[in-house]
Structure 1
């Protein structure tokens, strides 16, 4: 069974999402990440854990971001940012990564189980689900905000394998974060560290023995 990450795999790369958000709001990636860290550190948690674990609501988190941004950058213009409904603005105009959507569909068509294993936020579900809708149905969804544990915590990989009724070695994780891949591998999973579409499709083909993945890869110019 292949478990796909959402952010940075089925979605565009995170750098593109941050750049898009800056165009919408004027808030730079550095400013935004700094504010996220400030809010999380105040709770003793990793950067996005407060919302990815459902510790606070999106609205509470957004108000915390506004305070952190104002304190770190006096006079910053937040007039274009809708921080209390962050997800709606963050995902506006975002479309899925077509090659990873094709990979998910290819896996399903060739009889492999498919799932989404994601650190995500309760209030963001309508937006990210609409983005991945072209991929069709998945067999399992394991979402951090619903199960109360997030990658790279080993428990989320144990939980996902149990939910699918599979041994760890029957699970493959496709994720853009090396730390998540390392944590999954430590639990006995096979992993594909997504760095770009061509590499990920090639590695998926090698990992599963399914040549159809490699045939999806874009051809290089002659």
Structure 2
């Protein structure tokens, strides 16, 4: 039985609807031989070159995936000239990064449960234009969404307060009607400062329990 509720629950993609980020970096190392530490350092270096946080230039569509990947390759090679980059398709990064990745089934089930009880659900993600065709199929098991707010399409990214205002306008709800589930503490803090309720995702059980408490919908794991 469904009930009417004006609550809008926003799920992060990377690390919430997808496996944890540590698992994604480990999977990429298996595919390419590039360690998480080396890759993260290269991402940081690209951001530093452009005077921005590590992924901001590509998550705001200020540079293309191909340019970003080429910059990654340059920094990886400079940091470790002996590193074998022949398996890494850095200029088309998203295709290789998301290959073999599947949805977090517990959180997908929680999303469907909320929807079945009359709550509205959406994805609020820092993401990349060229990656949409890869990450969208991953979350299909979660079912239909009421809204998607993607940083690369709206010109703002978490934790910028502007993206929370955009999400509210997109959904047609007030700040106190929004709940964010995100694995990054800085994004959770920013959401709360914008008047949202928010859950810092650490485990499926913990996040589902907190979500049940905030919404009154029993968790489905």
Q: Identify the TM-score tier after normalising by the shorter chain.
A: over 0.9
CA deviation after TM superposition for structure 1 residue 26, in Å: 0.3
The residue number in structure 1 matching 2:40 is 33
Q: Residues 166-177 of structure 1: matches in 2 within 5 Å?
A: 166-177=173-184
TM-score under structure 1 normalisation?
0.95
Q: Residues 122-201 of structure 1: matches in 2 within 5 Å?
A: 122-201=129-208
Per-residue deviation, residues 7-36 of structure 1 (Å, max 9, x unmatched): 000000000000000000000000000000
The residue number in structure 2 matching 1:71 is 78
The residue number in structure 2 matching 1:220 is none
Q: Which runs of 5+ in 2 are unaligned?
A: 1-7
**1:104 has 2:111 as partner:** yes
Q: 54, 62, 71: which one pairs with 1:55?
A: 62
Number of residues of Structure 1 aligned to a counterpart in Structure 2: 214
CA deviation after TM superposition for structure 1 residue 188, in Å: 0.5
**1:113 has 2:113 as partner:** no
Q: Which runs of 5+ in 1 are unaligned?
A: 218-222
Give, in whole Å, the separation in 1 of the partners of 2:42 and 2:82: 15
- Which stretches of structure 1, 4 residues or longer, exceed 6 Å deviation after superposition? none
RMSD: 0.6
Give, in whole Å, the separation in 1 of the partners of 2:71 and 2:124: 27
Look up the SS of the partner of 1:12 in the other structure. coil
TM-score under structure 2 normalisation?
0.96
Give, in whole Å, the separation in 2 of the partners of 1:150 and 1:133: 23
Give, in whole Å, the separation in 1 of the partners of 2:33 and 2:85: 8
Per-residue deviation, residues 54-96 of structure 1 (Å, max 9, x unmatched): 0100000000000000111112100000000000000000000
**1:90 has 2:97 as partner:** yes
Query: RCO higher in 1 or 2 (8 Å CA, sep ≥ 6)?
Result: 2
